[in-house]
Amino acid sequence: MTVTKLTLLSPAKLNLFLNINGQLENGYHELQSLFHFLDYGDEMTFIASPNQNNTGTVNLSCNIKALESQDNLIFKAANKLKQHAYDTGLARCSGLPNIQIDLNKKLPMGGGVGGGSSNAATTLLALNKLWNFNLSIPMLETIGLSIGADVPIFVNGQTAIADGVGEKLTNYPIKEKWYLVLTPKQNVNTAELFSSPLLPRNSPKIPLDEIKYQGIESQFKNDFEKLVYNRYPNVAKSLDWLLEYGPARMTGTGACVFAEFDTQNEAKEVHNRLPVDLTGFVAKGCNTSPTHQTLFG
């Protein structure tokens, strides 16, 4: 029996800025955001085990048992990929090794660092390799978009500016710095934020050739930040504390907030000052996702 094992880091992302440019007739929002990866995330191990029942069955075990539900985006990613392979003739119903996925969850759920989307994208990339589909990255991005708006950025694996509803990606490498990310114990309701009349929806779209991102201290912003700050006291508390040490910003729709540093020691020094009621981690920014670094070198 051949058993193939693949262990990947499913990384966090930061939105270094996030502008809402408008709302479409279908209710989706147009946005413009700069996505950047961190060398910190969930660990995912994939084990392919060919046997007499090669139907591509996927099983998931996780250190957080509630995440083993079929609602997990990992299952949706595996099913979407398998269905695409069946529809296009890449795979036969009895021709795929079964997969065991072990997920060691470290990223906060609902924190705005992309944990679920990252897991889904890592699953697409891993199974594309283990099932020998050899689908292109653009094709995997298309499959990923059917799972969630942030999945394609993780499949793409490069620091990029996202336009549209998040599906139009332009790679945009920046200077890699260190980040202190605070993880407030707060469940932010993303759907409520998107439906709020207080959410800014008229930020002008910046022409790509005019985006000159120099760091968090620049003029860029997150259009969700004020709304979340006013509604969620734990986010406000974390952001206020971090602002004492320099420019800070919220990522995504929250709840995580972050500050940027030139060196690991600077970030760790501030992390060591965290009061007991605040939590966070230090990580390095990566222009290439750790997942891509492992898979593609």
Label each residue of the chain as H, E or C: CCCEEEEEEEEEEEEEEEEEEEECCCCCEEEEEEEEEEEEEEEEEEEEECCCCCECCEEEEECCHHHHCCCCHHHHHHHHHHHHHHHHCCCCCCCECEEEEEEECCCCCCCCCCHHHHHHHHHHHHHHHHCCCCCCHHHHHHHHHCCCCCHHHHHHCECEEEECCCCEEEECCCCCCEEEEECCCCCCCHHHHHHCCCCCCCCCCCCHHHCCCCCCCCCCCECCHHHHHHHCHHHHHHHHHHHCCCCEEECCCCCCEEEEECCHHHHHHHHCCCCCCCCEEEEEEECECHHHHHHHC
Packing angle of the helix pair 137-145, 73-88 (nearest 10 deg): 120
150 catalytic? Reply is yes
Residue from 251, 193, 187 nearest 16 by CA? 251
Closest CA to 241 of 180, 161, 170: 180
| Catalytic position from the list 42, 80, 82, 150 | 150
Q: Determine which one of 13, 76, 80, 105 is catalytic.
A: 13
Q: What amino acid occupies position 178?
A: W
Annotation marks residue 87 as catalytic: no
In this structure, are residues 290 and 37 in contact, taking their beta carbons and an 8 Å threshold? Answer: yes
Cβ neighbours of 218 (radius 10 Å): 12
Known catalytic residues are: 13, 150
